[in-house]
Amino acid sequence: MNKNRRDFLKASGLLAGGIALNPLASYGYNSQVDDTIKVALIGCGGRGTGAAAQALSTKQNVKIVAMADAFRDRLEDSYKSLTSKKYKDAAGKDVPTASKIDVPDSRKFVGFEAYKSAIALADVVILATPPGFRPYHFEEAIRQNKHVFMEKPVATDTPGIRKVLEVAEIAKKKKLNVVTGLQRHYQANYREAIKRIQDGAIGDIVGGQVYWVSGGVWVKDRLPSMTEMEYQMRNWYYFNWLCGDHIVEQHVHNIDVANWVKDGYPVSIQGTGGREVRDGKQYGEIFDHHMLDLVYADGSTISSQCRHYEGTYSRVDEAFVGTKGRIDSFSNKGTVLKDYKGGVIYAHDSKGDINPYQVEHDELFETIAKGEYKFADAERTAKSTMTAIMGRMATYSGKLVKWDDAMNSNINLFPDKIAWDAMPKVLPDQNGFYPVAVPGKTITV
């Protein structure tokens, strides 16, 4: 084993008494004699499969050794997809990823408790289930002393956020690397522009706009054989205990950029939202639009928009105004800081930029291979997720919501029991429609 990696795994609790804790010994693995970084994929949907492919495309000796999902069909589809892909080796040659996947049926785990068995077999875990499960899966991964890549958002309610923040502190003490899927933090134009903004290139930030306005995403049909739990799990995007509403699941990216630029989190949020277009029973309980004012400690306000309307103007971007200049877009070809006389302060050259989804894995696995501790993304991502949850609280209630009040909320969206025959907390009426928040009446804090 590479000495740096061995020392790092020892410091992280993965080696004890000079002998490797090797859960794969019965499968012929011996981490004392090779430098393999063993990965478990938890959550085998599209994003999990993509993250796993990116992990396999790093320069390190990465091998997927376990997979887990609530659904057998989703796991098998992911396995088939991953084993049919290719990655580039050190010489730039395309090599089938199947050579880096060793997941026999005995290491394919299915069900709500499957994640525990898969985590036990790895050095690094990829957490990519619906976000409502993230706090519990993160807690288990850190308890088992694993490095983590986890997708955003990291929770769907305040109790979940508090759990993630508690576990993030434990991860720091254990020196376990945690990278999260807010990939703009690994995107060159954002890194370069925001570094200059925080260095004062356009002065104090006094306003801005962040957007995720688009046509929406997939819908899964209800089948007669499905229990209510299975239907909500299959159609997870439209139920808050699983998704958090699209303001949390998608718009967290743009809200996080606002927090990054402001180097802080809103002290209060107010806004409006509802269901104007996507109002059918198939859309569960979530709104189709949200508009917010994010108010920061210095009194500045960032405006936020997200919506799902098909056939309308689309924009996924951010813009900010400072006392000495502005940035109107973060598109790779249009990331330009300007002063108010029209002068260019900084213009990003995107030539040679690497896909940030790949960069976050490149940097994580390089750090692990070197035996270093560098990444502690969980706290920042939890607080940006909380900002988005706070925005949902504001639009659902129609009230002004303060940060401290939101952080003290004890409203727990997660079901009391997780099983295929158990009932989630939100259920349809006799016509199949789910209850939807009513501003002015709904209590969210």
Q: How many other C-beta atoms lie within 10 A of the C-beta of residue 224? A: 4
The answer to whether residues 401 and 394 touch, using CB atoms and an 8 Å cutoff, is: yes
pLDDT per position as a tens digit, 202-260: 999 999 999 999 999 999 999 999 999 999 999 999 999 999 999 999 999 999 999 99
CA-only gyration radius of the chain, Å? 22
Give the per-residue pLDDT at 12. 52
pTM for the whole structure: 0.93
E-only strand ranges, 355-429: 401-402
Is 356 a residue whose pLDDT tops 70?
A: yes
pLDDT at 174 exceeding the cut of 50 = yes
> What residue ranges do the domains of the chain occupy?
3-184+357-377, 200-350+384-407
Chain centre distance of CA 7 = 29
Residue with tokens 């430098």: 35
Interatomic CA distance for residues 157 and 386, integer angstroms = 8
CATH number belonging to domain 3-184+357-377: 3.40.50.720
- Position 9 scores a pLDDT of 52
User: Residue 158 burial (CB < 10 Å; 0-12/13-18/19+)?
Assistant: buried
CATH of 200-350+384-407, one of 3.40.309.10, 3.40.50.300, 3.40.1280.10, 3.30.360.10: 3.30.360.10
Sort residue 299 into left (φ over 0), alpha (ψ -120 to 50) or beta. left
User: 225 vs 17, 219, 239, 285, 421, CA distance in Å?
Assistant: 52, 17, 20, 22, 12
How far apart (Å, rounded) are the C-alpha atoms in residues 271 and 269? 7
Query: What share of the chain has pLDDT > 90, as a percent?
Result: 88
Strands 124-127 and 147-150, sheet pairing = parallel
pLDDT surpassing 80 at residue 441:
yes
Residue 317: enclosing H or E segment and its boundaries? strand 315-322
Query: Taking 50 as the threshold, does the pLDDT of residue 268 lie above it?
Result: yes
Q: What is the pLDDT of residues 10-53, one digit of tens each?
A: 455 444 333 233 333 332 333 444 799 999 999 999 999 999 99
Helix (H, G, I), strand (E, B) or coil at 61: coil
Q: Are strands 401-402 and 344-347 parallel, antiparallel or unpaired?
A: unpaired
Distances (CA, A) of 62 to 40, 54, 81, 178, 263: 11, 10, 17, 17, 35
Residue with the bigger pLDDT between 418 and 99: it is 418
Residues 41-99: pLDDT tens digits? 999 999 999 999 999 999 999 999 999 999 999 999 999 999 998 877 767 788 888 88
Give the residue-averaged pLDDT of 158-170.
98
